[in-house]
């Protein structure tokens, strides 16, 4: 029995997962594999985990910001140039925290699923359909999560043309979806700064009324605070974070020059120097 989702129908034409099953190819129900040692147990020592990602609205769309650090075996730094904000299509971004291997596999699947739907149905998948696909991917990783081997949490940022506004969604590990009206954050560093984000909104007004420059400055400050409170989060001093926006014009990168122009002021505000 098919389950109808606006803009997509699970089990119907345009369903990329059904195409993969028909060709006996692993789909979202199969969690990405991790390395296995000779005893048959999963080797998590080299498994990469990403933190911290933040999404905030601004006047015109949504800003995504992420540190570049990937850790393994707890807080050991594995890599300092990880990309945790990825484009799903022209109007949708995904920011990822948690198991990097699972997240990247999920992103590849979602990119292909959205593209396959658009090409086979001659129209873009609706936002509701895209969000349902993300839930399905997360449900597919649940068996490994229950075994304590992996799991990731995505933030979805989209520009909704019907509402002419940016929107932000977050999920739990079982695929339940929630919409946040001003900001979202995920990853170990995010736990330290959620209260600060709420305080900033009350003190300075809603994020969706801020200019991009102001929202970027505030969000960089929060990321640096998270880095000072969480060893797994990279700050602004060594490697610049990654920042992207999604607006009515589509997805765009925030330039390195723009980030560098704000870097010193943010580090000074938190008692550090570049």
pLDDT 10s digits, 222-272: 999 999 999 889 989 889 999 999 999 999 999 999 999 999 999 998 876
What's residue 191's pLDDT? 85
Contact by Cβ (8 Å): 93, 86: yes
CB atoms within 10 A of CB 161: 11
What's residue 74's pLDDT? 64
pLDDT at 3 over 80: no
Contact by Cβ (8 Å): 115, 109: no
| 51 is a catalytic site residue | yes
Contact by Cβ (8 Å): 156, 169: yes
What's residue 24's pLDDT? 61
pLDDT at 34 over 90: no
Q: Does 35 fall in a domain?
A: no
Percent residues over pLDDT 70 in the chain: 84
Q: Does 45 fall in a domain?
A: no
pLDDT at 212 over 70: yes
Q: Does 151 fall in a domain?
A: yes
Read off the pLDDT of each residue in 99-107 and give the average, rounded to a whole number: 91
Bigger pLDDT: 3 or 149? 149
Residue that has been written with the tokens 């330290």 in this structure? 192
- CATH code of the domain containing 67: 3.60.20.10
pLDDT at 36 over 80: no
Read off the pLDDT of each residue in 178-206 and give the average, rounded to a whole number: 92
Q: Does 13 fall in a domain?
A: no
pLDDT at 9 over 60: no
The total of structural domains in the chain comes to 1
The total number of residues shown for the chain amounts to 274
List the one residue out of 135, 180, 191, 175 whose CA is nearest residue 157.
180
Percent residues over pLDDT 90 in the chain: 62
- CA 235/CA 10 separation, integer angstroms: 41
Q: Does 237 fall in a domain?
A: yes
Antiparallel, parallel or unpaired: β 49-50 and 53-58: unpaired
Give one word for 6, left, alpha or beta, with left for phi > 0 and alpha for psi -120 to 50. Answer: beta
Q: Give the contacts of 169 (CB within 8 A, at least 6 positions apart).
A: 131, 134, 155, 156, 157, 158, 177, 178, 179, 180, 184
The active-site residue out of 30, 51, 71, 141 is 51
Q: Does 11 fall in a domain?
A: no
Phi, psi of 142 (to 5 degrees): -55, -40
Report residue 161's pLDDT band, with 50, 70 and 90 as the boundaries: very high
Q: Show the domain range for 110.
A: 56-269
Q: Does 27 fall in a domain?
A: no
pLDDT at 143 over 90: no
Contact by Cβ (8 Å): 158, 166: yes
List the one residue out of 11, 19, 48 whose CA is nearest residue 32.
48
pLDDT at 149 over 80: no
Q: Does 207 fall in a domain?
A: yes
What's residue 19's pLDDT? 77
């Amino acid at each position: 029995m098919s389950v109808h989702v606006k803009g997509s129908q699970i089990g119907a034409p345009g369903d990329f997962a059904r195409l993969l099953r028909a060709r006996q190819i692993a789909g979202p129900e199969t969690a990405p594999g991790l390395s296995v040692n000779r005893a048959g147990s999963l080797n998590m020592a080299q498994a990469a985990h990403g933190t911290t990602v933040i999404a905030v609205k601004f006047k015109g769309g949504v800003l995504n910001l992420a540190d570049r650090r990937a850790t393994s075996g707890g807080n050991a730094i594995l890599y300092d140039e990880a990309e945790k904000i990825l484009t799903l299509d022209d109007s949708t971004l995904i920011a990822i925290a948690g198991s990097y291997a699972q997240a990247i596999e999920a992103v590849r699947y979602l990119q292909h699923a959205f593209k396959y739907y658009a090409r086979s149905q001659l129209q873009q998948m609706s936002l509701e359909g895209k969000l349902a696909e993300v839930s399905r991917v997360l449900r597919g990783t649940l068996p490994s999560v229950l075994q304590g081997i992996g799991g990731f949490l995505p933030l979805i940022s989209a520009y909704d043309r019907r509402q002419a506004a940016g929107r932000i969604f977050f999920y739990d590990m079982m695929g339940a979806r929630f919409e946040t009206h001003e900001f979202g954050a995920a990853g170990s560093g995010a736990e330290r700064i959620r209260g600060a984000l709420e305080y900033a909104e009350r003190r300075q007004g809603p994020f969706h009324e801020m200019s991009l420059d102001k929202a970027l400055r505030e969000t960089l400050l929060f990321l640096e605070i998270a880095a000072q409170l969480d060893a797994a989060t990279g700050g602004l001093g060594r490697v610049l974070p990654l920042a992207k926006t999604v607006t009515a014009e589509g997805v765009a990168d925030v330039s390195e020059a723009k980030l560098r122009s704000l870097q010193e002021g943010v580090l000074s505000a938190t008692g550090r120097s570049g």
